[in-house]
Amino acid sequence: MAQKPDNGDKLPTDRLLPGKSFRQGCTAKAAAPLAAEATSGLLGLSLPRRTALIASLAPLLPQAALARTGTGAHTSLSTHSHNTLHAPAIIRGAAPPPPLVMLDPGHGGKDPGAVGYSGTYEKHVSEAAAAELERQLLATGRYRVALTRSSDRFIPLEGRVEMAQAHKASLFISMHADALHDSAVRGASVYTLAGAASDSQTAMIAQSENSADLFGGPHVHATSPEVQQILASLVSEETRRGSTHIANQVVSSFQSRISLLSHPHRHAAFVVLKAADIPSVLVEMGFMSNRSDEAALRQAGHRAMVAGAMRDAVDRYFATTRIGVG
Ligand SMILES: [Zn+2]
């Protein structure tokens, strides 16, 4: 609790353990299955293998997830967002509640995420940025907002998706600041789900983000390449269009305000983006491996600017789509 970041310039100054560097952190993550580089598609499998895989996926499907979570996901949400989670009672003829935007600060608890150039933990940056975006979205009066976490705790990737589904979220935004081996690379980027990565750098980022579940223990089935392929194929065309739409809005909002990677809208098999019925996007707000990006993301003023750009993107998204409205 003493390390809980706030919206001021008080992010914890995490220091690397002796002999450890962000580069080593990335290397450790590289032991994860390389989901984004999966080459065996569903159609390439034998029928019995395909049937077995689909059966093994049943617990991951949205309906099954909803049935399993029940009210559990509600109670697992923190009191921090408590006031924003209760829709007005729906009575005949009443206006529908405003759309619910689910914010997902990456990592947390025993999973620090990327460790920055000077030792900042990604989990603290993502939590502080999500809290700021929550504040800005609520200030518009147009949305309900829920967070997958608002304290420093570990949540498996599957659990994050299930929370969004349990809340019938209209939009899912995962917030991160990863590290790359090349400390010269900087800038924000935006990711949507696809079976194959758009480029090798994106494959590495997806691999790194998906490996968060390595912290959760051995029973992680969702990171197998074959399962990743199937999950990607389950995403409906409508959801895919919505995800692309919000990604484009985020990129265009960022364009005039913060530095971007080249080709800033990319795609790969991110586990946390797999909800078949909720347009989902993952935003890398910068790279902790870059000295300038890390320094900027430690500043509350910079995080407020990033959040402001994302709020504008959410505004344009809902103004130009009917998803989640009504
Ligand atoms: Zn991350």
Q: How many Å apart are CA 171 and CA 147, to the nearest integer?
A: 12
111 CA to centre of ligand 1 in angstroms: 10
Mean pLDDT of the chain: 77
126 CA to centre of ligand 1 in angstroms: 8
Cα dihedral sign, 212-150-1-139: positive
109 CA to centre of ligand 1 in angstroms: 13
Asked whether the beta carbons of 108 and 152 are under 8 A apart, the reply is yes
Model confidence, pTM: 0.71
Give the pLDDT score at 253: 97
Return the amino acid letter for 219. H
Asked whether the beta carbons of 317 and 246 are under 8 A apart, the reply is yes
Q: Which residue has the tokens 């994050």?
A: 160
Cα dihedral sign, 204-210-260-150: negative
154 CA to centre of ligand 1 in angstroms: 13
pLDDT tens profile 165-191: 999 999 999 999 999 999 999 999 999
Can you point out the beta strands (E) in 9-81?
A: none
Locate the domains of the chain by residue range. 22-84+99-319
182 CA to centre of ligand 1 in angstroms: 16
Q: Is 272 helix (H, G, I), strand (E, B) or coil?
A: helix
pLDDT tens profile 10-63: 576 554 333 333 433 333 333 233 233 333 344 444 545 545 554 555 444 444
294 CA to centre of ligand 1 in angstroms: 13
Give the pLDDT score at 136: 98
105 CA to centre of ligand 1 in angstroms: 8
Q: And the tokens for 233?
A: 């194929």
Check pLDDT > 80 for residue 312: yes
pLDDT tens profile 207-220: 899 887 777 655 44
176 CA to centre of ligand 1 in angstroms: 4
285 CA to centre of ligand 1 in angstroms: 10
316 CA to centre of ligand 1 in angstroms: 25
Class assignment of domain 22-84+99-319? alpha beta
